[in-house]
């Protein structure tokens, strides 16, 4: 079973790291929230480790604050050349932990969060089945998705793309996109390649 998100957020201090980076750049919380497309209240909850950030928010934060995503998850930077993440070590972020304040319609687990300075970010994602495609997100980088089970739908602008188990999809993440679970128990492997500043 993956780590409890509340305990892991507190242990890793993701929100504290965001706040420290923001303050080191003399950036006001209102300014960063506006640049992320978030409310000041939601960013404050993220910085206080009350609400977990979405994957897209972490990607955008890493770019705006000039760090890799691993900065938020790793306890310390390591010079290791590889990382093994056993099933019980995955860092899980659950939409139920958003407390109604977020836009998450999926649960995600970081599959390699301790290795510093890597270029790819792999995630295991489970989607809620819903008719709501959610808010379209966009960020710099590229994404690869491989559907493991169920059916998911990507919306890129006006185009809807449905994928079922065994299907793969690669796209540039600067295109506004939203994702929803359609049928079954939608699960997928995502690999993100963010363009960091």
Taking CB atoms within 8 Å and a gap of at least 24, the contacts of 86-93 are: 87/2, 88/1, 88/2, 89/2, 89/3, 90/2, 90/3, 90/124, 91/2, 91/3, 91/5, 91/8, 91/12, 92/2, 92/3, 92/4, 92/5, 92/8, 93/5, 93/52, 93/53
Judge whether 58 and 47 are in contact, CB under 8 Å.
Answer: no
Q: Which two three-digit tokens encode residue 108?
A: 């995600």
The CATH number of whichever domain residue 108 belongs to comes to: 2.60.120.10
pLDDT of residue 102: 46
Domain total for the chain?
Answer: 1
pLDDT of residue 114: 75
pLDDT of residue 191: 94
pLDDT tens for the chain, 197 residues long, are 344 555 666 667 888 889 999 999 999 999 999 988 888 998 998 898 887 787 778 888 888 888 877 777 766 555 678 888 888 877 676 655 444 444 557 788 888 877 777 888 899 999 989 998 777 888 888 999 999 999 999 999 889 999 999 999 999 988 989 899 999 999 999 999 887 64
- Rounded to whole angstroms, the Cα distance separating 197 from 186 reads 33
Which residues constitute the domain of residue 65?
5-193
Whether the model pTM is above 0.85:
no
Judge whether 152 and 162 are in contact, CB under 8 Å.
Answer: yes
pLDDT of residue 99: 47
Judge whether 69 and 121 are in contact, CB under 8 Å.
Answer: yes
**59: Cα within 13 Å, side-chain hemisphere:** 23
pLDDT of residue 121: 87
If 0-12 CB within 10 Å is exposed, 13-18 middle and 19+ buried, where does residue 89 land?
middle
- What is the DSSP code (8-state) at residue 140? S
Judge whether 179 and 127 are in contact, CB under 8 Å.
Answer: yes
Q: Which two three-digit tokens encode residue 5?
A: 């998100």
């Amino acid at each position: 079973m993956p780590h409890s998100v509340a305990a892991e957020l507190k242990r890793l201090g993701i929100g504290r790291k965001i706040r420290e980076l923001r303050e080191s750049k003399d950036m006001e919380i209102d300014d960063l929230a506006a640049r992320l497309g978030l409310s000041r209240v939601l960013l404050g909850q993220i910085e206080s480790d009350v609400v977990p950030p979405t994957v897209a928010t972490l990607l955008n934060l890493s770019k705006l604050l000039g760090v890799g995503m691993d900065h938020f998850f790793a306890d310390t930077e390591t010079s290791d050349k590889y990382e093994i993440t056993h099933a019980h070590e995955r860092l899980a972020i659950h939409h139920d932990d958003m407390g109604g304040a977020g836009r998450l319609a999926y649960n995600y687990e970081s599959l390699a969060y301790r290795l510093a300075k890597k270029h790819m970010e792999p995630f295991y994602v489970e989607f809620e089945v819903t008719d709501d495609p959610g808010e379209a997100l966009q960020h710099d980088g590229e994404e690869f998705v491989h559907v493991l089970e169920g059916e998911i739908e990507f919306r890129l602008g006006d185009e809807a793309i449905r994928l079922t188990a065994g299907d793969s999809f690669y796209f540039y993440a600067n295109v506004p996109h939203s994702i929803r679970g359609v049928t079954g128990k939608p699960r997928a492997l995502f690999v993100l390649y963010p363009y960091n500043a």
